[in-house]
Structure 1
Amino acid sequence: MPENKNLVFDKNGKELTEEEIQERIEILRKLIQDDKHLHVRTDDNWLTRFLYPTKFDPEAAYKRMVDYYKLKAENPKFFFTESPNKLSEFLNTELKIVLRDRDLKGRRVFITQMGKVPNNMSLFDLTHMDDIWIEAVLDEPETQKNGLSSIIDLSKTPWTILKWLTPANMRVGSRKADLVPFTDLHIHVVNSSPILNAAIALVFPFLSTHTKEHIHFHYSDWSSLHKFVNPEILPKEYGGTQEIDFDAIREEYVYNNASRIVKNLSASYKLD
């Protein structure tokens, strides 16, 4: 776990006092309340999810929030706004899951096994699943501060998903990845191959420099993955020791928090 985990620093490296943190929260709250187009929660927990990624710069946090929800308003198909129960057909598979434990830097760990994409799933179903799982953990203070490690397993990936890789889809998807309020988002690609890497190369031009710098290709080298995610928390197929109880985790993180998740997913920006 990270040392000094309770310390908060601004963009200049200055450690912030509790009073200074609260002052910046209040500035962001006022900016939101003055914006008639932005409809989001204004409690401290909601505001800190956008303040942590911007080093507690209220103006930058406000801009990121506006940009994120404008993107949602302009591209509604890419964003989920309903109850998780509406997507239970896909949620109740082993396609996506969060782990109970965190990586070496205190990040929440999120696993996607692309080989388990159902035949009837669309790109939008896949992004909607991400929305649900992200909202299931993003209210956690530790996740807000430390971020997310996303493990994407490409083993047995169906070739049908290549039709999703259109320039329009990749532009929206990459923009959404840049704006989602994670302080630190690391993507770990495992079980890849030269052919799948060629497909990934199509996506790279649409990614920001920051996102590219945080993508790690491990193939099936688990010692490489373990430099970021300790094996004690990983399932056996990734060189770990754990058995994942998919049903119990889904119930605990998603279905037991469905009303909160729906409320969070309803956040919006009204375009003129």
Structure 2
Amino acid sequence: MSFTLLLDPPGPEARALAEKELRETEENVKKGIETLRKYIEEDKTIYFSTDDDFLMIFLRPCKFYPESAFELMKRVADFKVKHAVLLHNLMPEDEKNAFVEHNVVNIFKHRDHKNRRMMMVNCGKLWDPSKVSSDQIFRIFYLIHELAMYEPETQIFGSVVIMDFDGLSMKQITGMTPSFSMRLLSFIQDAMPLRLKEIHFVKQPFLFKMVWQMFKPFVREKLRNRMFFHGSKMSSFHAHIPPSHLPKNYDGELPEIDYTGADWYPIVISHEDKIKKWNTYGYVKNK
């Protein structure tokens, strides 16, 4: 698979999974779209696109319950207001240096054995907090999620995040501010219209316990059940994602990763129109 956004309609496997796990039947889709559109049109305080494809972004993670999808939209709008300092009119160009010069966030070219998108975050020695702040990492996450949610098959199959803590030191721990931790958790648990299926923590040293203690009290059960801690035991990781779908970096059968966020950056730029549009969504500003 090359560096590209996959915008094709869902294939047979995705459609079958969507019906089984997301209640995605013709009747539920029709009713969900009609009702969600009605909610948006009747609520004069909020603005989102009412195109069918756009509404599916919110209906799929909410299993086609339009009330839940509308609540998710409102939480997205709330989040954008609360973190406007970081997110207002955010464009890829604003974080070009972090994308291109620093290998902190990377997206695998291939999907896993369950067709899920995989994102890797280098939280250890490869991350220099004096050059890329935790706020910048969050902004990159946010830009990537904006594009991933437009992929119909990612809406259905979901995504997986690998947090690689190889070489973690106090430098990185002090770089992970409590405000970053809280913002990231709030985003994942409340305001991200994507199905995050698993988070894998790998190569984390003993020091990692300090980071985890910061997060732990605020992680709800649903998310906690999707978090897996492997340390240096790749066999433990392979129980979730087989070696056939992992690179050599994780004792997998695929070639070692030889690409970074720099290789993805042109794709992000080529879809700037979607990001620009997303920036207009949320609560209507009083004139």
Q: Same fold (TM over 0.5)?
A: yes
User: Does 1:189 pair with 2:201?
Assistant: yes
**Partner in structure 2 of residue 143 of structure 1:** 154
* Alpha carbons 2:168, 2:205 under 8 Å: kept: no
CA offset digits 1:75-112 (Å, max 9, x no partner): 22353632201211101122111112212222100011
2 CA distance for matches of 1:136 and 1:230? 26
> Post-superposition shift, 1:158?
4.6
Distance 1:158 1:134, change over 3 A: farther
Distance 1:20 1:14, change over 3 A: same
Q: Residue 39 of structure 1: which of 47, 65, 75 is its match?
A: 47
Q: How many residues get paired?
A: 268
Distance 1:108 1:14, change over 3 A: closer
Q: Residue 62 of structure 2: which of 49, 54, 57 is its match?
A: 54
2 CA distance for matches of 1:22 and 1:219? 46
Q: Percent identity?
A: 24
**Partner in structure 2 of residue 250 of structure 1:** 265
> Post-superposition shift, 1:41?
2.2
Distance 1:131 1:266, change over 3 A: farther
Distance 1:88 1:158, change over 3 A: farther
User: Does 1:96 pair with 2:109?
Assistant: no
Distance 1:177 1:15, change over 3 A: closer
**Partner in structure 2 of residue 202 of structure 1:** 214
> Which ranges in structure 1 are unaligned for 5 or more consecutive residues?
none
> Post-superposition shift, 1:57?
0.3
CA offset digits 1:169-228 (Å, max 9, x no partner): 443331111121122331110110122123212211011111111111111222222233
* Alpha carbons 2:19, 2:25 under 8 Å: kept: no
**Partner in structure 1 of residue 83 of structure 2:** 75
Greater CA drift, 221-230 or 184-193: 221-230
TM-score when normalising by structure 1 = 0.87
Distance 1:69 1:185, change over 3 A: farther
Which letter maps to 2:149? Answer: L
TM-score when normalising by structure 2 = 0.83
Distance 1:15 1:257, change over 3 A: closer
> Post-superposition shift, 1:24?
0.8
> Which ranges in structure 2 are unaligned for 5 or more consecutive residues?
1-10
CA offset digits 1:36-95 (Å, max 9, x no partner): 222222222221121111111000110011012212202223536322012111011221
Q: CA RMSD in A?
A: 2.5
User: Does 1:268 pair with 2:287?
Assistant: no
Distance 1:204 1:15, change over 3 A: closer
1 CA distance for matches of 2:58 and 2:263? 29
* Alpha carbons 2:106, 2:119 under 8 Å: kept: yes
1 CA distance for matches of 2:76 and 2:105? 23
* Alpha carbons 1:84, 1:262 under 8 Å: kept: no
Distance 1:238 1:77, change over 3 A: farther
* Alpha carbons 1:38, 1:269 under 8 Å: kept: yes
Greater CA drift, 46-55 or 74-83: 74-83
* Alpha carbons 2:35, 2:66 under 8 Å: kept: yes
Query: Superposition pairs for residues 20-39 of structure 1, below 5 Å?
Result: 20-39=28-47
1 CA distance for matches of 2:280 and 2:22? 35
The DSSP-based 3-state class of the residue aligned with 1:64 is helix
